[in-house]
Amino acid sequence: MSKSHFPNIFLDQNKDPIWMIDLDYRLIYANQRYLDIVRNITGKEQQLNETAFIEDFDENYTIKWRQYYRRALHGEAFEIEEHYSLPDTNEIYYGQISFEPLLGDDDKLFAIACQSRDISKIVKHKSEVNQLIDASLDVFCTVNEQGRFVYISGAALDIWGNTPEELLGKPYKDLIMPEDLLETKQKLIYIQEGQTVTAFKNRYIKRNGDIAYNLWSVKWDPASRLFYSTARDGKEIMEQEEKVQQSEQRFKALVQEGSDLIAILDVHGNYKYASPTNSSIVGISQEEFLSKNIIDLIHPDDKEKILTCLKKIKVENKLVLDTFRIQNHKKEWRWIETVFTNMLDNPAVEGIVANSRDITEEKILIELNQQTSQLGKIGSWEVGFLNDEIYWSEEVHKLHETDPENFTPSVSKAIDFYRQDFKVFVETTIQKCIETGEPFDFEAVILTTTKKELWVRVIGAAEFVDEKCKRIYGSTQNINDKKEAEIRLNSLADNLPGVVFQYLIFPDGSDNFKYINKGSQEVWGFPAEDLIKNSRLIWDGIIAGGEIKKVRKSLALSIKSKSKWTTRFKYIMPNGEVRIHLCNGTPIFLTDGTILFNAVILDVTQETKDEKLLELVTKIARIGSWELDLVNQTGDNMYWSPMLFEILEIEDNYNPTLTGGIEFHIGESRERIKKAIEHLVEDGIEFDEEILLRTAKGHKRWARAIGKCDRVHNKRTRIYGSYQDITERKKSELENKFKANLLSTIGQAAVATNIEGEVTYWNRAAETIYGWKMEEVLGKNIMELTIPDTNAEQATVVMEMLKKGQNWSGEFVVQRKDGSSFPALITNSPTYDENNKLSGMIGISSDITQKVRYEKLLEKHTQELERSNLALKKIAWTQSHVVRAPIARILAVINLLEEQPESFDEISFWLKQLKISTHEMDAIVKKIITETYSLDQE
């Protein structure tokens, strides 16, 4: 036989099934044992190069084996256990199947080789062992080096609450309680290192949340690299140990580490035992105590008391001692409170147990509390309902002015002390506390025995037993001084022109008002009680004003910097009115993280308007301000307002100084301002000067310079003032002065008034004509000065014309200062300001008394002349006919003579006739003269 046949013979005669699968799950090789088993199970022959999955098996079988093959085809070598029933014997076949990937010459996987080894005998033996192990009440388990369970017996379900299948492969640390994990790991390290660890304990958390108490016995096998372990239920043992441990700890805490002083004395008072706390209080070691008698440490005044107690305790079980003093190593006397217990018959003690407590600090606090109660005027009280007892401390009696020896307090008597307007409230409050247990804290007024009114604060609480009020107790404090001060402060706050309030910001971000005065109604538009209930009302008004971010930012900055809170903001009143509020407050940081703001808010709406108006006026009036600090700076640097920069026409980067500022003054103005500032700094003499400046651009400007100063302890600390550009006013003044001089030189009265008729100008001629001096008339009404009552109505008409912008001129009867009247010729005209707005009127008047007199005389002469003319006319008319006759005759005679009469006699005759006519005519003329003369006489 050839050696090449050996592998085939070995494979075919091998009792273990061997087969091979290609990449497409086809059976490409199977030994005889494999084929026989398949035939025995299925009754069919398995063919090569066909699917490796057996058709007669169910779908789950195919899925499971496909997963096995896929793992191997991915290059994984592994083993599984499988079992199936043999049809001919009905025995269970247990096989350990290995899967091995096969690589070709190109190192690529081309198939997998599978081999199933019969482990039925091993499994059967193992099963018997497992049955024996599972019958044990203890858990047997194996844990690998990685801390995972490899094997777990059935007892795991009872002890740990999990089946073995649930725990296999899981880390043991997943079950262990966190506080036991570190110690458990350390124990396993010790065991793995070969140290002897007989047993240890830990606790597992069951699936239902219960605790499993484990007592472990563990052995490490270096060959298999496994921990072989046994866990016993140690609940009872561990709980018992824990109780013992707790008892020991309790004893240690009470006796050795407690605050109480535990000692054991013999019947003579000698120390047999002293707890460590005795050493800490007294300052001697426990060994030193054993050599001392308790009397050695006692205050001389208390020794007799202790000796008496030592005698009594011999026959009594327990004895409470009055407080006494012992001396420590610092020679200080400590107050001690002690209970003696007779345990002489107890074989474990055989002595008197002294349980003591150092009450020195308590005694000091009690004394301090008494002093504090007296200082704070606080007294305590108690009402017991089980034995109907009531207690008032000495201070409570003092508050009510009652005698503790003679006055027996009761609830009804206590309520009767309250003023009538508080009685119902107090009675209701106490009754509610008794019925519901609700504590109370109120302020009220009592009437003492001597009828003196007293404000008190009463705090009380109830104690219940079996849902019944056993007692109520508390304190009463005299707060009369505080309350009166509070009332005064509230009254003061309510009369302040603003809102005084306390505002709380809590650690969780919420807020509310603690106190608000009555000013909230006027400033915020809400009563104080509404705002305390709902602070949101104020925030809504600030939000409506549009400056909520500004307010919150200022609050945050105040809190962060722990500085004063100052801000100004718009607030919208409930009626829609816009107000400007100025807030000033101080934050107080309380221990619980709460921030308390004590603050005041003022309504500065009008002031804000005034500031804006002032700013506008400053700009219009061209007024700049300056300031020099004389204390907190070196040199003469000073502050100039922007308007002063503008007046002097200098750049914004100019650094103003006192020396540099003086240089802008020119001529005598420079020396005058120098002296004015020197007097201001040295003597505090303030100044108001009109000076001439030259600006940085060379323009001349007139300015009104004002200087003032601040004084502290008669020392100048600051000088300040203003410069106003009065160039235009100065020009106007010069022009007006010229006009005034011009008016003052004319002989007519020049009078100017404002629109109301009040005199603003009165020249010298007016003083002469009307008799009033200028200083007497300025500001007075012209109607009262110059208009007689008889002409008041006409003067009013003239004034109304002027107010309408009309001119008026004419003669008018006016009066002098002495009341005499005279005629005047007046011309009145309206005057206008720079905006062409009617501002007043001006009148030019002259005394026309002589003119009127002359006019009247002329009128009289004219009338007389007219009368004379009339008489002459009458005479002329009358005599004209008489004169005409002789004239006619004369004319006729003359005519005849011219015609040359023939005889002399005729001539003589006619001459005689001419003479007669001439004499007649002479007589007529004389008569006319006489009549005319008589007219003159008339």
**Long-range Cβ contacts of 561-569 (<8 Å, 24+ apart):** 562/587, 562/589, 565/597, 565/599, 568/604, 568/608, 569/542, 569/545
| DSSP line for 679-705 | HHHHH---EEEEEEEE-TTS-EEEEEE
Q: Calculate helix-pair angle for 536-545, 548-561, nearest 10 degrees.
A: 120
Around 340, how many Cα atoms within 13 Å sit in the side-chain half-sphere? Answer: 26
The closest alpha carbon to 707, from 658, 643, 655, belongs to 658
Per-residue pLDDT of 54-69, as tens digits, reads 877 778 888 888 999 9
Residue 930 has pLDDT above 80, yes or no: no
The closest alpha carbon to 379, from 489, 269, 473, belongs to 473
Per-residue pLDDT of 352-371, as tens digits, reads 998 888 888 777 666 655 55
> Among 54-58, 108-112, 282-286, whose mean pLDDT is lowest?
54-58
Residue 380 has pLDDT above 70, yes or no: yes
| DSSP line for 258-276 | SSSEEEEE-TTSBEEEE-H
254: which DSSP letter? I
Torsion angle (degrees, nearest 10) of CA 768, 773, 779, 782? -30
Place 1 in a pLDDT band, splitting at 50, 70 and 90: very low
Place 674 in a pLDDT band, splitting at 50, 70 and 90: very high
Cβ atoms of 457 and 477 within 8 Å: the answer is yes
% of the chain surpassing 70 pLDDT: 83
Which pair of tokens denotes residue 352? 């008197």
pLDDT for res 198: 77
Helices (H), 685-780: 727-745, 764-770, 774-777
| DSSP line for 75-132 | T--EEEEEEEE-TTT-PEEEEEEEEEEEE-TTS-EEEEEEEEEE-HHHHHHHHHHHHH
Cβ atoms of 323 and 335 within 8 Å: the answer is yes
Place 631 in a pLDDT band, splitting at 50, 70 and 90: confident
Residue 203 has pLDDT above 60, yes or no: yes
In this predicted model, which residue has the larger pLDDT, 895 or 937? 895
Residue 795 has pLDDT above 70, yes or no: yes
Query: What mean pLDDT value characterizes the chain?
Result: 84
Torsion angle (degrees, nearest 10) of CA 185, 190, 196, 202? -10
In this predicted model, which residue has the larger pLDDT, 454 or 743? 454
Residue 213 has pLDDT above 60, yes or no: yes
Strands (E), 126-277: 139-144, 149-152, 200-205, 211-221, 226-233, 261-265, 271-274
For the whole prediction, is pTM greater than 0.85? no
